[in-house]
């Protein structure tokens, strides 16, 4: 460009998200979890004597937004990446409750605080965005090859008529990108949620659903840490 040879790079930040030539989010998640952990370390040093309410507010205001910025797009599917993010919240739960006893269950402490897992929150965010796209509340269109020509032929009492085609993916990267990963979950949602009259009502219902005992029905498959990216 203008006589200067441009250097190639495998990954580079753009609008706060680390884009990679391999189309995976490993570098971005490493950056996000590292930044969130450094913020948590700062809060632990300075707010350890504060009431639990203050520590909770600090976490939800300063750390969780870092862990969730643009997460509807880069929602990870490798277990190692999911664990990397959840590890920060688990440490934050210890900090908020002041309970560092080894025999204490972090899962129970998290439930007492009313915190869903970050994976559950990302799923709720993805589905809420899809609801807005479906109802043309945002300037994003669903690709035409996902839209069925006729009413879905498979319909049970637990499904709905607002279903989309499921496209077979040949790679894990494409399979776990936004539309291919979200549409199968959307198709499985109860009609009472899909037909919500507003995005806020949908968001409330979907948060309750993914935080419930039924959440595993909607989480989808997770690739183990040792699996290949290809």
CB contact set of 209 (below 8 Å; sequence gap of 6+): 189, 193, 215, 218
CA dihedral 194→200→206→207, nearest 10 degrees, is 180
Looking only at the bridges linking them, the beta strands covering 11-14 and 17-20 are antiparallel
Per-residue DSSP letter, 10: S
Q: How far apart are CA 134 and CA 116, in angstroms?
A: 25
The pLDDT assigned to 22 comes to: 84
Residue 95, judged by CB atoms within 10 A of its CB (0-12, 13-18, 19+), counts as: buried
Alpha helices for the chain (secondary structure H) = 26-46, 52-58, 64-68, 71-74, 79-97, 106-113, 118-134, 172-175, 178-188, 191-194, 199-210
Q: How far apart are CA 177 and CA 218, in angstroms?
A: 16
Whether the Cβ atoms of residue 85 and residue 135 lie closer than 8 Å to each other: no
pLDDT tens, per residue, the chain with 230 residues: 888 888 888 888 889 998 988 888 999 999 999 999 999 999 999 999 999 999 999 999 999 999 999 999 999 999 999 999 999 999 999 999 999 999 999 999 999 999 999 999 999 999 999 999 999 999 999 999 998 866 544 454 557 889 999 988 889 989 999 999 999 999 999 999 999 999 999 999 999 998 876 666 566 655 565 443 33
Whether the Cβ atoms of residue 207 and residue 116 lie closer than 8 Å to each other: yes
Three-state DSSP state, 25: coil
The pLDDT assigned to 20 comes to: 87
Q: How far apart are CA 212 and CA 199, in angstroms?
A: 20
């Amino acid at each position: 460009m203008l006589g200067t040879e441009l250097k190639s790079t495998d990954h580079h930040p753009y609008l706060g998200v680390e884009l990679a030539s391999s189309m995976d989010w490993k570098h971005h998640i490493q950056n996000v979890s590292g930044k969130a952990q450094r913020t948590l370390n700062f809060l632990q040093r300075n707010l350890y004597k504060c009431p639990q309410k203050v520590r909770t507010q600090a976490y939800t205001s300063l750390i969780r937004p870092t862990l969730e910025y643009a997460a509807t797009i880069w929602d990870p599917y490798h277990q190692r990446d999911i664990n990397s993010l959840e590890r920060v919240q688990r440490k934050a739960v210890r900090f908020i409750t002041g309970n560092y006893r080894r025999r204490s269950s972090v899962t129970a402490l998290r439930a007492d605080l009313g915190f869903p897992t970050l994976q559950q929150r990302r799923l709720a965010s993805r589905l809420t965005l899809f609801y807005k796209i479906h109802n043309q509340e945002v300037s994003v269109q669903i690709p035409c090859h996902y839209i069925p020509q006729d009413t879905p032929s498979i319909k049970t009492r637990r499904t709905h008529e607002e279903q989309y085609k499921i496209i077979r993916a040949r790679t894990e990267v494409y399979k776990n990108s936004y539309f291919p990963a979200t549409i199968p979950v959307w198709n499985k949602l109860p009609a009472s949620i899909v037909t919500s009259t507003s995005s806020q009502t949908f968001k409330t219902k979907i948060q309750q659903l993914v935080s419930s005992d039924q959440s595993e029905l909607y989480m989808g498959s997770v690739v183990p840490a040792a699996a290949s990216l290809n």
